[in-house]
Amino acid sequence: MGPLLSLLIVISFGSIFYFWLKRHNKKLVIASVIATVVFTGLMTLTPEYKQEATKEERQEKADNKKKTSHKEKLKSKSVNKENKVVKTKPSLKKTEKKKKANLSKQDDKYVVSKETLLSRAKKLKYGMSLNEVKSIMQVKPSEEENDRGFINLTYGKDIVDLGFDENKRLTAASTGAPQIQKQGEKAAQQKKKNAKSIESSLKSSAQYFGTKSSESIQNNPGAFKTTQDGDLLYILWNPGDHLPLLLRVDDTSTNITNVYIYNKHGDNPKGRHLYTGRTIVQKKRSIVYY
């Protein structure tokens, strides 16, 4: 029954166009339309059509179930992700708090009280190196260096202000370490005393060297190094006691002896002049009476 009605529907539907285009007969066109509608209505009443309709309904229901189940799965996944994010948020906050705490601890290393800075500055001494000062102060200062190599360190807001020479030695303290100035004055005085002592020792050694006889010098070649250049006799001697080498020049033509500080650098070995006197050739011998 179903295939026959399908064939009739096709024939009636085709006859609509045939009578409309070929014959131009309106009555037959209307009859064809009515036949197509009737055959179509009868087609819906056949058991084959009803079975096909039920199959389509079942298929639609199955498709709708799949779609709904897929949507539910997606919703459950999104909910799980949101729950994970919510769970991890407190841990992120904890880590951020820990980082802030660590940063605050690190900042505390660079921020100390005025009393702490001054107590540390009391341990500083004149002539300390730059690294020694930084290790004692234990905090990072503001550091400046000029074109000549002089360095200035400032701790806090001008609480401790220190100055270093070109050799990076502590030589001044405008604030925070008054002992540096006193120690510097003592060091300068001591330096003057040492210079005077060295100068006097140097002059006495030059006089001793200049008044020594040529005979005694020649008899002690281990202590004195001699070289001859024409009428000039050059004698080199190390006086010791951290004093520089001394150079004695004997002029045999005039019998005059001069003593100089030996100049290691340059063409002229004669440095600063220390002594002038007559050359003593032989050592005085004591007379023995019988």
CA angle, 255 as apex, 252 and 257 as ends, to 5°? 100
pLDDT of residue 108: 45
pLDDT of residue 244: 93
pLDDT of residue 94: 61
pLDDT of residue 266: 79
Q: In terms of residues, how long is the chain?
A: 290
Q: Where in the chain is the domain with CATH 3.30.1450?
A: 114-177
> Which alpha helices (DSSP H) does 211-256 contain, by range?
214-218
Out of 1.10.3470, 1.20.1420, 3.30.1450, 1.25.10, the CATH code matching 114-177 is 3.30.1450
pLDDT of residue 85: 47
Give CA–CA dist 209/217, Å, rounded: 9
pLDDT of residue 277: 94
Instruction: Tally Cβ neighbours within 10 Å of residue 94.
Output: 10
Query: What's the alpha-carbon Rg for the chain, to the nearest Å?
Result: 59
Contact call for residues 209 and 248 (beta carbons, < 8 A): yes
pLDDT of residue 86: 45
Contact call for residues 209 and 226 (beta carbons, < 8 A): no
pTM: 0.43
Buried b (16+ CB within 10 A) or exposed e, 179-206: ebeebbeeeeeeeeeeeeeeeeebeebb
How does pLDDT run along the chain (290 residues), one tens digit per residue?
A: 667 767 776 787 677 777 777 666 777 778 878 877 876 777 677 676 667 777 777 777 777 777 777 667 677 766 666 555 444 444 555 666 665 555 544 444 456 899 999 999 999 999 999 999 999 999 999 999 998 889 999 998 888 999 999 999 999 998 999 999 999 999 999 988 888 888 899 999 999 999 999 889 988 988 899 999 999 999 999 998 889 999 999 999 999 999 999 998 878 999 999 999 999 988 765 555 55
Give CA–CA dist 90/53, Å, rounded: 57
> Strand order in 246-251's β-sheet?
224-229, 232-237, 246-251, 256-262, 270-278
> Can you tell me whether residue 75 is helix, strand or coil?
helix
pLDDT of residue 116: 93
Q: Given its phi and psi angles, is residue 46 left (phi above 0), alpha (psi -120 to 50 degrees) or beta?
A: beta
